[in-house]
Amino acid sequence: MAEELSAIGIDDIKAELRKILSKRRYVHSLGVAGEAEKLARRYGADPAKAYLAGLVHDCAKEYPPEEMETILKTEYGVAVDSMSRIMPKILHGPLGACDAQRKFGIYDPEILDAVKYHTTGKGGMRLLTKIIYIADYIEPNRDFDGVEKLREMAYDNIDEAIIHGIDETIKDLIRRGLVIHPDTMHARNDLIMKRE
């Protein structure tokens, strides 16, 4: 049960998330949790861990981006890499992992890793991290060109779905003239090398 994975119960976590997140972000978090649970059942991961990781993955999303680095440094003693400073919005992953520990009493390293890397991905992702990464893309409230194809791919071959998702993200970042975090490139390269 997910209750055993945190110091407080799921209902209390949901109540806290309703307070700190916008309605839209809260609904998204519920969607990711449900999708992650289904993907976990499909791939043989722990459904309770997947649900909990999906539920809290965006718990730090609505901090002002310009404050995230300071909070990570001063409250958690976490150093921020130079690339993340350029795009501070991605810091909600590492900050979310810290908050999940402090606010919700979640200490499971798989869950914390999944929350930390749900935006960038990373090389050598464990199954739960992959599940949260792709569930964030395909949860039922997402609506973009190609989402149905990505949903099908996610249940057929999660690695291929992640590669496809990363490719689309990279194209979008290039179109917008933005940098690509090295963790994202490592995630893609790692999955492609494992494919061959």
pLDDT per residue as tens digits for the range 138-165: 999 998 888 999 999 999 999 999 999 9
Please state the pTM of the whole predicted model.
Answer: 0.95
pLDDT per residue as tens digits for the range 48-79: 999 999 999 999 999 998 899 999 999 999 99
For residue 174 the two structure tokens come to: 């290039």
195 pLDDT tier (thresholds 50, 70, 90): confident
6 pLDDT tier (thresholds 50, 70, 90): confident
54 neighbors 135 (Cβ within 8 angstroms): yes
2 pLDDT tier (thresholds 50, 70, 90): low
Total count of domains within the chain: 1
Report which of residues 5 and 96 the model is more confident about. Answer: 96
72-91 average pLDDT score: 93
Q: Tell me, what's the pLDDT at 1?
A: 47
pLDDT value at 187 more than 80: yes
Q: Tell me, what's the pLDDT at 3?
A: 53
CATH, residue 26: 1.10.3210.10
- Residue 104's nearest CA partner among 196, 192, 17, 191 is 17
Sign of the C-alpha dihedral, residues 112, 118, 124, 127? positive
pLDDT value at 7 more than 80: no
- Cα separation, 70 vs 23, whole angstroms: 26
Q: Tell me, what's the pLDDT at 4?
A: 74
- The whole domain housing 35 covers 2-195
Q: Which residues lie below 8 Å from residue 107, measured CB to CB, with a gap of 6+?
A: 101
CA atoms within 13 A on the CB side of 34: 10
Lowest mean pLDDT among 84-88, 115-119, 150-154: 84-88
